[in-house]
Chain A
Amino acid sequence: MTTKIHFVTPLLMMLFAFNLNAVTKNQITCTGSTTVLPIAQATAEAFMNSHPDINISIRGGGSGVGVAALQNGTTDICNSSRPLKSKEISAAKAKGINPVAYTIANDAISIIVHQGNPLKDISIQQIKDIYTGKIKNWKVLGGPNLPIVVISRDVSSGTYEVFNEKVLAGAKVEGSAQLLASNNAVLSAVSNTPGAIGYVGLGYVNESVKLISVNKIIPSETTVKNGSYMLSRKLYMYTNGKAKGEVANYLGFIQSERGQQIVQEQGFINIR
């Protein structure tokens, strides 16, 4: 009996220390989606201003990287621009990680072209035809006689996965497409390439590129919230189990009125 107590007691103490560590630490790490990155950075900055004892470190890498970090227990928050897949949830749960989703913003995958492109609207089918290589010149769509330069995201990107599901329906992107690692890289490539087309999160769209409507609908708060803009989606932060301590406070802050105001300031759409 004494032997059992000697064995069990330190084990219980270590488990207790583990939970205590999770609750009381003042270092929060966020890893994952580059789409969620500006929201995470801006809200973290505001949160740290009002909580000077808390340090929030944020890393990108893509939603896939964030999910892997959550599964490995190496991040407190996984930023993801897509819902987790059954395979990912299953692997996480087997490791004792219970992914819990917090919706932090609404977003629209925004189709962008070079500022000099006269095109104003495009259909889902036309986007698919461009990305699968069936349409190769803007003149087919009533534009200039200019080869189309296809810019896409790398496959670890959640934005790519949502784009693939909603536009490509599983079809492969044409071989000559440039696969870039971040929203900023896509924005920069499209703004500097006259024949380019790309897609980014709504918060990344600025005057350096031209935003075009999809099936005659421009992404806006109304069209995203009522679902009429076909490429709308939600952005998430995932934690291991229900968030506790300062992680819960930070997520609560993002979902608060002030947090959602920051979401809008970053160009995304609030969840309220």
Chain B
Amino acid sequence: MKQWKLMLNLICIGLLCIPIGLSSLETKLSGEFWGRWISEIAKRKDSDGNYENKLVSNYFSLERGYLGLETKFSEQVKGRFTVDIFTTDKTHEYREYSLADSTLSYSTKSGSIDGAGLKIKYAYVDFGGLIPVKDMTLTAGMQKVYFGSIYDWSYTLIGKAPSDEHKVVSSSDLGITLNGYLPSGFGEYQLGIYNGEGYKKVGANLKENTDFAYLGNLRVTPITGFTIGGSYMINTVERDKKLDGEIINSSYEEQKLTDIYTRLAYGPVDLTGEYIIKDVDFPDVKDINKTQTYTATGISIFPCLNLKAFLPYNLQLVGCYDIWDESDRVETDKARNKVTASTIGVNYNFMPDETDNPSMQLQLNYTAKKYDEDKSYSDYADGKKDSSQINLQLKWKFANTL
């Protein structure tokens, strides 16, 4: 078992080294930046213990700053490197270790960041023609996670894809994938092996895990405009036994993740639906307390109406209805129970490029979130973190061949 994992690692490293001997055919520089204003109101306790609506957020931010280099080493071999520069994410977390009674323990702390944060979002190489299957590409490195809608989420809405928003999977991870297309444009498929912890964690926050995550994804478009698909991923968190004396690790969890995806696009109407199931098991919990195991489910519907054909302006009306239900989860300190989010919004697309694709987009979204009881938010009314939020965002992007 360990030997073939080692072999996979060696293959991955070998594949990543191939491009070193190649020189570039064409290099493209691209960027995408999101400047956002967020204003959020929620019902919170005042000093007298009464609840009242309070402005809890009101700020400008650079939410995303993708800067990418894409290079073609040949018609079949392509590399991509993208960094994400941002001002907001509280990602500077670190572990603080302490030694007491000969036991080493740690706690996770958050630290402030001066300037901007930086993450590597993508760093991969596509090898077309390496496998003798038509239209199949082998991709190695930090790349998209082909689960649900997360890998081609176009942010028509300001919010994230549901599987990203509810932290079911990460949008990017290190691994190896096979990507292919069905004949005559009938769809696409992916098979992948990933680290399973995403692109955000570094240093002390990297999980102690020797298991890979395994992914399969299939999308079929049997008739133009109607797509149906499914993704399945097996992942683990932490390792089952600590190296030191093979101690059983109660934090070890096994996840079975399922996503059913459907999209209907006809003329100006584009409707996407997604159903997510997250099964979590803690096999190392000795008392076999079945309540430790839980299943979370999510349903999301995203309608979009393009008004360009009817108006002199390139406008889109967008919406979202999203339910995420974790009420099966009994860990009271972490429970989020159930949240329902409804969003309406409008997009104004302008500054079209040579293909008439907008280089700039102004987005306005209003989101109302309603929570079932949630004891982890005691400062909010009855533990319900109900809120309403306005987001105004200007996105701009460019791509030039060097």
A residues contacting B by CB (< 8 A) are: 11, 14-15, 17-19, 21, 31, 59, 61, 65, 68-69, 72, 74-75, 84-90, 92-99, 154-155, 161, 164, 168, 170-173, 175, 179, 241
Contact = CB atoms under 8 A, between A and B. Distances in A.
B248 interface: no
B186 interface: yes
A81 to B, nearest CB: 16
10 contacts: A14-B268, A14-B269, A15-B267, A18-B268, A74-B357, A93-B186, A93-B221, A94-B263, A171-B74, A172-B74
A144 to B, nearest CB: 29
Interface string B322-356: 00000000000000000000000000000010111
Nearest to B224: A98
Chain B facing A: main interface SS: loop
Q: Which of B187, B219, B309, B355 has the most CB of A within 10 A?
A: B355
Contacts of A11: 269
Given A14-B310, A15-B266, A69 B181 contact: no
Interface in B121-161: 129, 134-135
Interface in B150-205: 181-188
Contacts of A75: 356
A217 B141 CA distance: 46
B265 interface: yes
A170 B129 contact: yes
Contact-residue size bin, chain B (C-beta under 8 Å from the other chain): 35 or more
A87 B75 contact: no
A96 B135 contact: no
Nearest to A15: B267
Interface string B80-119: 0000000000000000000000000000000000000000
Given A89-B184, A94-B263, A97-B224, A68 B355 contact: yes
Contacts of B76: 170
Contacts of B129: 170
B75 A69 contact: no
| 5 nearest A-B pairs in the assembled complex, by CB-CB distance | A89-B185, A74-B356, A96-B265, A96-B225, A98-B224
Contacts of A90: 181-182, 185-188, 221
B232 interface: no
B25 A74 contact: no
Nearest to B222: A93
Contacts of A14: 268-269, 305, 310
B13 to A, nearest CB: 23
Contacts of B289: none
Contacts of A68: 355, 357
Contacts of A19: 267
Contacts of A97: 224
Nearest to B263: A94
A161 B74 CA distance: 11
B26 A18 contact: no
B401 interface: yes
Interface string B223-255: 011010000000000000000000000000000
Contacts of A15: 266-269
Given A11-B269, A93-B224, A164-B75, A65 B181 contact: no
